[in-house]
Amino acid sequence: YVERVTDGKRFLLKLYPNGSPHIPKRDSLLIYARNAELPFGHVAVICDVVPGFIRIAEQNYIYHSWSDDFSREVSLVIKD
């Protein structure tokens, strides 16, 4: 779950790991595991889902100004 800071309300999360048959949905969280490049992991919000990629909003990953209403596009591969 995640907890809203202002009032402590909790929201349950559903886990859809890579390789899942579920296509990501707008307003979902994309959570990166810890690794050498991201020692604390990383969280992004999915802003849009289009054929072939998702658009995400994030901070503190690649430090640059956004030229649109999302920070970058991530490839989306769907396998049978």
Helical spans, DSSP H, in 2-61: none
- The count of C-alpha atoms lying within 13 angstroms of the C-alpha of 27, restricted to the half-sphere facing its C-beta, is 1
Q: Which domain holds residue 35?
A: 18-75
Domain assignment of residue 44, yes or no: yes
The rounded distance, in Å, linking the Cα atoms of 10 and 16 is 19
- Does pTM top 0.95 for this prediction? no
- Specify whether the CB–CB gap between 16 and 24 falls below 8 A: yes
The answer to whether position 9 is within a domain reads no
How many domains in the chain?
A: 1
Output the pLDDT for position 10.
97
pLDDT one-digit tens code per residue, 38-79: 899 999 999 999 999 999 998 877 767 767 788 889 999 887
- Per-residue pLDDT of 6-28, as tens digits, reads 999 999 988 888 888 888 999 99
Higher pLDDT, 34 or 63: 34
Among the listed residues 19, 28, 15, the one whose alpha carbon sits nearest the alpha carbon of residue 55: 28
